[in-house]
Amino acid sequence: MLEVTGLAWIVTIGLIVLLLALDLILASVRPHRVGFREAAAWSVFYIAVAIAFGIVFWMIAGAEFGTEYFAGYIVEKSLSVDNLFVFVIIMTTFAVPEKHQHKVLTFGIVLALIMRAIFIALGATLLNLFSFMFLVFGLLLLFTAVQLFRHRDEDPDVEDNAVVKGARRLFPVSDEYDGGKLVTRLGGKRMVTPLFIVLVAIGGIDLLFALDSIPAVFGVTEEPYIVFVANAFALLGLRALFFLVKGLLDRLVYLSVGLSLILAFIGVKLILHWLHVDISNSVPEISTPVSLGVIVVVLTVVTVASLIKTRGDTSARAHAGSLRASRKAPSEQDR
């Protein structure tokens, strides 16, 4: 078991808060359109920070926990790319002005970190108290994988999101943006702007992704500290990554298939672990190095296959995938 001192937790959380503050300052002080060069520089920076942390952590905690960190980071990074698909859909659906998009993304990242910290604490407690939760998490991931594969050629309907619908019923919404304001006045009446609804939509999506990603990373490691830092470092670079790859996301046509395979694999891993612990120790378990290898291979294959597919078929377009059927099926042109 990994022993993490209170000081180590404080230093780690302090580093993450510092990086978040940097993102918040950049997003609020100087609203602007983020260009490719700026996005590339920040993406490289956040990936370098995550790798540097992993190397230091490997040297301090040992190879086993170091491997678990990198496996967890890759899982969360791959799931965060699917996050980006949905963020693109939200930005497009609500026509968010480009100069305010990085503010929305930073809000989404902060909210995602808070939600995942809560779910990490809850998940770790449940796993410590009830070993059958490994079975529950495994079955949840298998269900998610099947649903994601079934609806791999669809996009989630943001307007049909229950949280967004509820916000529209509770608050009068203006038709136009008012700079970066969340609340405005029209004809003497106080109303929320579309930017407020965008933040509500981002929050609802963050909640759904937290429900999927936490069981997935617990399938790689049972250590709450590793789960937390893997999530944090994967999410911190999301804002820059959005502006870097949003034009390339359409080419990742097999990403949903790859993610469904990864989630199914981790689900099976959790179920085997439960069988090994609670039923019989003769049941084999899947080691972390094997898990890391499978995840890397799947992501490499789906990325290469996607690029080959879109090079040969320029009409092919990627979809975020959905956990339930959309109200409106995708057109033949989108398939």
Q: Which residues contact 35 (CB under 8 A, 6 or more apart)?
A: 243
Residue 117 inside a domain? The answer is: yes
Torsion sign, CA atoms 57, 60, 61, 64: positive
Residue 66 inside a domain? The answer is: yes
Residue 278 inside a domain? The answer is: yes
pTM: 0.78
Cα–Cα distance between 265 and 269 in angstroms, integer?
A: 6
The pLDDT of residue 88: 76
Residue 275 inside a domain? The answer is: yes
The pLDDT of residue 326: 56
231 exposure class (CB count in 10 Å sphere: 0-12, 13-18, 19+): buried
The pLDDT of residue 37: 78
Indicate the residue type of 198.
V
Token pair for 331: 């057109």
Residue 295 inside a domain? The answer is: yes
In this structure, the strands spanning 189-192 and 183-186 are antiparallel
Q: For residue 285, what are the domain limits?
A: 18-312
Cα–Cα distance between 275 and 287 in angstroms, integer?
A: 15
Rg for the chain, CA atoms, rounded: 20
Residue 319 inside a domain? The answer is: no
Query: What is the widest separation between alpha-carbon atoms in the chain?
Result: 73
- The 3-state secondary structure of 252-283, one letter per residue: CCCHHHHHHHHHHHHHHHHHHHHHHHHHCCCC
8 Å CB contact between 287 and 335:
no
**What's the total number of domains in the chain?**
1
Residue 205 inside a domain? The answer is: yes
The pLDDT of residue 321: 64
Tens-digit pLDDT profile for the chain (335 aa)?
A: 788 898 999 999 999 889 888 777 766 666 666 676 777 888 889 899 999 999 999 999 999 999 999 999 998 888 877 777 777 778 877 888 877 777 787 777 788 888 888 888 888 888 878 888 889 888 988 998 898 888 877 777 776 667 787 888 888 888 788 877 888 888 778 888 888 888 888 887 777 777 777 788 888 888 889 999 998 898 887 777 777 776 666 777 888 888 889 889 988 998 998 998 888 888 888 888 888 889 889 989 988 998 888 887 777 776 666 666 555 544 444 44
Residue 58 inside a domain? The answer is: yes
The pLDDT of residue 53: 94
- Alpha helix locations (H) across 131-223? 133-150, 162-170, 194-218
